[in-house]
Structure 1
Amino acid sequence: MLDATLESLAVDGYAGLSLNSIVKLAGVSRGAQTHHFPSKQALILEAADSLMRRAYRTFGKLLLSMTHEEDRHAALLEAMWKGLFDTPLFRAYLELAVASQRDPELADALRKLLRRARDWFEPAVDHYFETDAKSSLQASAVILQQILLLMSLVVHAHLLPGAGLLKEQFRTWLELSAAHLRPRKGVRTAPPRPLGWDEPVSSK
């Protein structure tokens, strides 16, 4: 049901999203849907929570797979774009973000979800990266800025002149952040499991 919801959002958009289409795509009965998710809003929020958890897992796997520490930041930036932001699943999230501008209840729910996701991501970033002793920034603040810039590129990617501009932006971000951010030496283990990881989004 959650995967079907995200797929429907990416294909049909928020305005075209319906419980009937989700149930049909998921191959379940309407009774099964109402048993687990009493409303479309509840289903959408659980799907968004699922997307955030998937993003966190992807983030961790990417970092642990990068054995050459000095290349970790550059490889992470490119991998986040290809494996997370430039995907139908992330476009599903964008549909929710745009819809929340006119839906206060959805906006409030997404705001809480994003705060929760930030609580997950910041310790993970600090686990893998550190900042230069002369820098006043935190590693998580540098990566967060780049995540926000990647979000902007997703919105405008279809309007940009080509992949060359993306590569140029990546090089610029890496050069600007090099004075602040560097990988921690000897990190070969995942960070601790985030607090509240196993709690449903409805409990927050």
Structure 2
Amino acid sequence: MHFNEIEAIEPNTFSNLPSLERLFLHNNRLSRIPVGAFRDMKSLRRLRLDSNTLICDCHLLWLSEMLKEKQTTTQAAATCEYPVSLQGKSLTALSFDDFHCKKPQFTEEPTDVDVSFGGTVYFSCKADGDPEPEIVWLHNKNEIIPEEDARLSILNDGTLMITEARDSDQGVYECMAKNAAGEAKSRTAQIRYYGDRGR
């Protein structure tokens, strides 16, 4: 797949190819490699990403760490094009500090919410970081998976929305912000009910 002027690859393009031994992507126009692009490639022995336009910022930290872990089994060539200070340097030669990552820091944390039974609850959570942190919510220390309960959803700005509040929603809520540089946990918050339970 080299010399094809490829500009982008999707996160799962090469995942789940356990028998693939050699992947040549050199001499393309790739500037970013999505997280997990080479997941479950257990037989990979050679990977070429040189002669691309790789931007060696925090978004590529995961790849640098993966290549360092696999140095004994996988021969890899991947060099930076940007920033200029890292031009021509191998990804495996870079340290954590070279990527200028910023661990997540909260700009807004959840607070206790008063709600009547059957009402809608909103817990806010916002965080900065580089790369932009992913927001995950915990209820009584267990990760909330919105797909498992239609009443729960995580909005685009990180807010947790709970509709039709009920007894089982009581307990401790906290949000976690995660990125390649690390993770942070917010203070905890609870739902307080008022009025007639009605159920």
TM-score in terms of structure 2 length: 0.27
The structure, 1 or 2, with the larger RCO (C-alpha pairs under 8 Å, 6+ apart) is 1
Q: Compare the two structures and name the one with the higher strand fraction.
A: 2
Of the two, which has the highest radius of gyration?
A: 2
TM-score in terms of structure 1 length: 0.27
